[in-house]
Structure 1
Amino acid sequence: MPDHARDHDARVLNEHYDALAAGGEESLLVRLQAAFRAAGCDPDALTLDEIAGIDQLHLGGRAASRSLAVLGELWAGQRVLDVGCGTGGASRLLADEFGCEVVGVDITAAFIAVAEWLSAATGLSGHTRFLCADAVRTPLADGAFDVIWCQHALMNMPDVPGVLAEWRRLLAPDGRVLLHEVVAGDSPEPLALPVPWARTAATSHLQRRETLEASLAAAGFEPLCVRDVTDEALAWRQKHGRREAGEAPARALPGPALIFGEEFAEMGRNLRDNLAADRVRILEGAWRLG
């Protein structure tokens, strides 16, 4: 992919994930710190429970990350690259609960700034670090990681073969890839938009499961365990949709609406409907570098 196309994609993603700042409001970091102060929290000393609402911006939240970590049989001291790390929630969970040393990479500069702040505020800076980079070409050494971790990020990446080639370069021998990913479902109906990862069809790069698995095989990754977790993801989205609609007690702590803006409620409903109508499905899986 030409550099100008990559630059355009990066700009579009930055505008999508920090839409409020793109519209003239304060930066995401400033907004979130102010919101924690308003909720009675010290933004320089936070707990992982307090930041859960903005910590992991994928279906299933922390439970989905724990499930993937158990599937991948992670252990203390492993070197993990969290690709598309967002605000760094999975990176911190892997460091805190599994003892991993984690590097998070994301193309969205606002997310990296927030991830660095939240790791410092929760005392996990010593085991997590973050960099802003394109996943297809990271400034990291060959064979530097035991595990590539990726949750709900490939659907934002137009050059999946290029990303997988980079993963192969970055993994040590016998390294593993752990994925929790949104893929296209079997329904011929168009995707209901906007959704959390895209406001238009042009910025959604969903693949079918068969295509993704074939790309992984072509890149030299052997499947260890792959399972469809769509039903669990739909149940989680339905539960959180009721909470967001006020049918369950609302949290005073900051949530995703501070990141996505007023459209987040519509994004959540559309995601629920896309899951229910089989326009999208959710995969969880582990692969080994062959």
Structure 2
Amino acid sequence: MTFARWGTSPCAARLPTPCTSQESIMPDHARHLDAHYDAPVELGEQSLTMRLRAAFRDAGRDPDHLALDEIAGIDQLHLGGRSASRSLAALGHLAPGARVLDVGCGTGGASRLMAAEFGCEVTGVDITAAFVEVAEWLSRATGLDDRTRFLCADAAQMPLPDGAFDGIWCQHVLMNMPDIAAVLAEWHRLLVPGGTLLLHEVVAGDSPEPLVLPVPWARSVETSHLRSRQSLEALLSQGGFAPVAVQDISESALAWRRKHSRREGEGEARGPALPGPALIFGDVFAEMGRNLRDNLAADRVRILEGVWRRA
């Protein structure tokens, strides 16, 4: 289950980065995501890029020359951080030269990890323009802009050619998407025959109790699109994806979240800190983390890691 080598492809060229007008593609959906993932701007603060650059300077770092370890707190906004991404990459047998589409790339951390540690050529796509801007800056600052490129677009309608990718990568994103069937149809179009889909996702648990909000992906019931594992797997099958390896990793995810909730709750003064998720989500992030921990412990949500193949 090894990806094909990177070759000449329409995606190898530098992609356009300006975001398609948010008013023309699912305007309510895009607006809700912008308000959630770049909350401080909604309150009149500086842009996400400006806030993060200032925070790096305050921590004694040059924002134009950064190491991957220095940006770890803001580049992978999902349970498990970089260790979860490495686990998914290993499960999917990522190989040097693979052409990978990172859907819901956020600030681009998984894209950079795949490029730096696995030798992949990665295209990241996100509907939130602020994330795409940050992803491009961080790839330049870490010297990985030659192997990562970013595009602002809706995952259900991407301006990319058929069969452009050997693999599609998606971490903690589907619960933000109201129409998964449309997204899966687009992924099926973009993958080469036999291409691989790698997912690390939050799904609904078995508890009948309602989700405790806010959580890192939603502040209201209306903007959370959690599905059960059974529902998600049925949609994947209907969309033309056959399972290769799927596992429930909720226990390890809960242990990771508990550890980080303790750190966030303690708030010990250790001098100027490197930027973390609170600069993106606002002061409510610590509460989001605690709620995610408690939702996991109560089986309101579970975490899946899996690989599927395009039939």
- The answer to whether the superposition gives a TM-score over 0.5 is yes
Identity percentage of aligned residues: 70
Is 1:98 the equivalent of 2:115?
A: no
* Paired residues, number: 288
Query: Cα offset for 1:121?
Result: 0.2
In structure 1, the partner of 2:152 is 132
Distance 1:4 1:185 in 2: 34
- Indicate conservation of the 8 Å contact 1:180/1:282, yes or no: yes
Q: Is the 8 A contact 2:25 2:154 kept in 1?
A: no
In the alignment, structure 1 residue 68 sits paired with structure 2 residue 62? no
CA contact (8 A) 2:207 2:299 kept: yes
Aligned pairs for 1:45-60 (under 5 A) are 45-60=65-80
Shift in Å at residue 23 of structure 1? 1.0
Question: Is contact 1:80–1:101 with CA below 8 Å preserved after alignment?
Answer: yes
| Structure 1 residue 123 displacement after superposition | 0.2
Q: Indicate conservation of the 8 Å contact 1:243/1:249, yes or no.
A: no
| Letter of the structure 2 residue corresponding to residue 69 of structure 1 | A
Q: Determine if the alignment matches structure 1 residue 260 to structure 2 residue 281.
A: yes
Say which SS state the counterpart of residue 50 (structure 1) adopts.
helix
Superposed displacement of residue 6, structure 1: 1.1
Partner of 1:231: 251
Kindly tell me: are residues 4 and 103 of structure 1, through their superposed partners in 2, closer, same or farther at Cα, counting changes over 3 Å? Answer: closer
How far did residue 193 of structure 1 move? 0.2
Q: Which residue in 2 is equivalent to 1:149?
A: 169
Q: Deviation at 1:249? A: 7.6
How far apart, in 1, do the equivalents of 2:286 and 2:94 lie?
Answer: 34
AA in 1 matched with 2:32: V
Deviation digits for residues 223-276 of structure 1 (CA, Å, limit 9, x no counterpart): 000000000000000000111112778581110000010100100000000000
In angstroms, what is the RMSD of aligned CA positions?
A: 1.3
Q: Quick one: which amino acid aligns to residue 56 of structure 1?
A: Q
2:292: which partner in 1?
271
Residue of structure 1 in register with 2:137 after alignment: 117
Distance (Å, rounded) in 1 between the aligned partners of 2:269 and 2:297:
24
* Deviation beyond 3 Å, 4+ runs, structure 1: 247-251
State the alpha-carbon separation in 2 of the partners of residues 132 and 229 from structure 1: 30
Give 3-state SS (helix, strand or coil) of 1:49's partner.
Answer: helix
TM-score (norm 2): 0.91
Q: Is the 8 A contact 2:167 2:195 kept in 1?
A: yes
Judge conservation of contact 1:242–1:248 (CA < 8 Å) in 2.
no
How far is 1:22 from its partner? Answer: 1.2
Following superposition, the deviation at residue 5 of structure 1 comes to 7.8
- Contact map agreement 1:154 1:160 (CA 8 A) in 2: yes
Whether the 8 Å CA contact 1:161–1:215 is kept in 2: the answer is yes
TM-score normalized with structure 1 length: 0.97
Task: From 179, 195, 203, give the equivalent of 2:223.
Answer: 203
